[in-house]
Amino acid sequence: MQVSQDQPIYSEAPLQLLLFVDGRPKSRQQVLRIRAFLKELQAEYKFELQIVDVEQQPYLAEHFKLVATPALIKIRPDPRQILAGSNIIAQLKTWWPRWQAVITEAYLKLENQLQETIDDNAHVASSITSISSVVDKAELIQLSDEIFRLKQEKEKLQEQIQFKDRVIAMLAHDLRNPLTACAIALETLQSDYNPDINQFQRLKPAMAVHLLKQARSQTRTIDRMIADLLEVGRGTETELPVIPQKTNIGKLCLDVLEELGDRYIAKSQQVEIDIPKDLPYVYADPERIRQVLVNLLDNAIKYTPDNGKISVCGLHRTTQKVQFSIGDTGPGIPEENRDRIFENHFRLKRDEATEGYGIGLCLCQRIVRAHYGQIWVDSAPTGGAWFHFTLPVYPS
């Protein structure tokens, strides 16, 4: 277990705190200040403090549903409480006397019960000393996950074998279309170009530029298909590498829309953009989030009919989260399949004749979860589907 402690565990500690930290250089000073303040409190009042590095134990951050670090969680006494943000010390100063008052009241109540019901002494004593270590809880979580993984291993291996067979059967067909389009564009340019006069003979400049853009777009399509296939083959979600940094997701989305412009223009689709200028930066891996945007926008273009509408929205949902949404006016996702579409290789029956491997949304989910975010889908009021995902706000 990668859990450090500022002091030995007190099995009878009435107060248990869990401090989640990360390896970001900018958060280091804040963490040091928090730990120093906690040590000052610990000198006057003994309590249990455990430090968890989210990079080494991401499942614990997911277990407590954290969206940002550093974060301080009061495990005991109940109810559980989470302090997060840039003012954790100020929050501690407010809550500390309240926590102590609750503990004092609880002990007085237990003492009264002990005096009144001496026959239940063993039960009352156990209730006093039953504060279990978070380390033990974390080990139980890991053990439970391991048992579940072993039970599913056979099915996953069989599914992977079937998937490989399916990829081999589909790869030639799916790659042939963009390869053919790219080859035609390049051959047309080559056959019309006269090196002696250093210009095209019959092609107008605008058409030459269009063919070059077409070739570039098709090569990017091929690259995305191969990259997605390789990414899915990397393994489990916890193995997905991310390098989070300060990222302007609004600009990133506009860049992807420009890259896919030829596709939605060819279908006369309208793109409606609502990205606030003051949308905060997110703490995310820009290349990974670009994969999410490409997959979601690619699907929106693919399933939206000619003259349909695609919507892109950004929302500063809370002080710690940014929500990004992509909607379309396509056929939508049946309610009974809205969870399953994020499963690896799952495809709706209506899409069996549509190009693709059924891995795009699974990859999106893995990337978003690696950033401690969430991704989901619901229906648009006017039909179609809305895909939403959240990312942590970059701390100022």
Number of domains in the chain: 3
Residue 339 lies in a domain: yes
Q: Tell which of 173, 203, 233 closes a domain.
A: 233
- Residue 246 shares a structural domain with residue 347: yes
> In terms of DSSP H, where are the helices of the chain?
25-44, 58-63, 88-116, 121-128, 134-192, 205-232, 249-259, 261-266, 286-303, 360-370
Same domain, 307 and 393: yes
What is the spatial distance between Cα 313 and Cα 251, in angstroms, rounded to a whole number? 12
Q: Are residues 92 and 218 in the same domain?
A: no
Give the mean pLDDT of the chain.
78
Does residue 335 lie in a domain region?
yes
Q: What is the per-residue pLDDT across 259-310, written as a single tens digit (0 to 9) for each?
A: 888 889 999 999 999 999 999 999 999 988 998 998 899 889 988 999 999 9
Question: Which residues lie below 8 Å from residue 342, measured CB to CB, with a gap of 6+?
Answer: 361, 362, 364, 365, 375
- The band of 7, judged by pLDDT with boundaries at 50, 70 and 90, is very low
Residue 137 domain-assigned (yes or no): no
Residue at 391 is within a domain:
yes
In this prediction the pTM is: 0.48
Q: In 3D, which of 314, 252, 261, 254 has the Cα closest to residue 287?
A: 252
Q: Report the pLDDT value the prediction gives residue 166, as an integer from 0 to 100.
A: 58
What percentage of the chain has pLDDT greater than the value 90? 24
Asked if 36 and 102 sit in the same domain, the reply is yes
More confident residue, 343 or 119: 343
Higher pLDDT, residue 7 or 213: 213
- pLDDT for the residue 244: 93
Q: What pLDDT band is residue 100 in, cutting at 50, 70 and 90? A: confident
Once rounded to an integer, what is the mean pLDDT over residues 58-82?
83
Helices (H), ranges, 193-323 = 205-232, 249-259, 261-266, 286-303
Question: Is it the case that residue 379 has pLDDT exceeding 70?
Answer: yes
How is 1-24 classified by DSSP, letter by letter? Answer: --EEESS---TT-S-EEEEEE---
CATH number at residue 68: 3.40.30.10
* pLDDT tier at 355, thresholds 50, 70, 90: very low
- Residues spanned by the domain of 264: 240-396
The dihedral over CA atoms of 176, 181, 184, 189, expressed in degrees to the nearest 10, equals -140
Note whether 135 and 16 are within 8 A (CB): no
Whether 138 is covered by a domain: the verdict is no
Same domain membership, residue 286 and residue 204: no
What is the pLDDT at residue 356?
43
How far is the C-alpha of 133 from the C-alpha of 290, rounded, in Å?
Answer: 40
The residue out of 180, 201, 233 marking a domain boundary is 233
**Is the pLDDT assigned to residue 252 strictly greater than 50?**
yes
Asked whether the predicted pLDDT for residue 120 surpasses 70, the reply is: no
pLDDT digits (tens, 9 = 90+) for 300-319: 998 899 999 999 999 998 88
Residue 129: strand, helix, or coil: coil
What's the pLDDT band for 128 if we cut at 50, 70, 90? very low
Q: What is the mean pLDDT of residues 66-78?
A: 85
- The token duo for 396 is 């100022």
Structure tokens at 59: 């499942």
Shared domain check, 163 and 56: no
pLDDT greater at residue 180 or residue 81: 81
Contact 344, 34 (CB under 8 A): no
DSSP per-residue letters across 260-273: THHHHHHTT-EEEE
How confident is the model at residue 2, as a pLDDT? 45
Are 170 and 112 contained in the same domain?
A: no
Q: Are residues 218 and 261 in the same domain?
A: no
The answer to whether residue 325 is domain-embedded is yes
Which two three-digit tokens encode residue 118? 């001496």
Distance (Å) of CA 140 to CA 135, 145, 369: 9, 8, 22
pLDDT confidence of 131, banded at 50, 70, 90?
very low
Q: What is the CATH number of the domain that holds 368?
A: 3.30.565.10
Q: Is residue 14 part of a domain?
A: yes
- Of the listed ranges 66-80, 125-139, 195-209, 372-386, the one predicted with least confidence: 125-139
Q: Can you tell me the mean pLDDT for 151-173?
A: 66
For residues 124 and 211, state if they share a domain.
no
Cα 115 to Cα 14, 101, 107, 130, 228, distances in angstroms: 20, 21, 12, 20, 67
Does residue 288 share a domain with residue 247?
A: yes
pLDDT, one tens digit per residue, over 147-160 is 777 777 877 777 76
Q: Which residue has the tokens 């077409």?
A: 214
Do residues 199 and 262 both lie within one domain? no
pLDDT per position as a tens digit, 185-232? 888 888 888 887 877 877 888 888 888 887 887 787 777 667 656 665
pLDDT of residue 24: 85
> CATH number of the domain that 172 lies in?
1.10.287.130
**CA separation for the pair 256, 254 (Å, rounded):** 5
pLDDT exceeds cutoff 60 at 172: no
- What are the CA-CA distances from residue 297 to residues 143, 254, 263, 328, 333 (Å)? 38, 11, 11, 9, 15
Of the residues 100, 132, 164, which one is the last residue of a structural domain?
Answer: 132
Within-domain flag for 145: no
CA atoms of 108 and 263, how far apart (whole Å): 71
State whether 275 and 394 are in the same domain.
yes
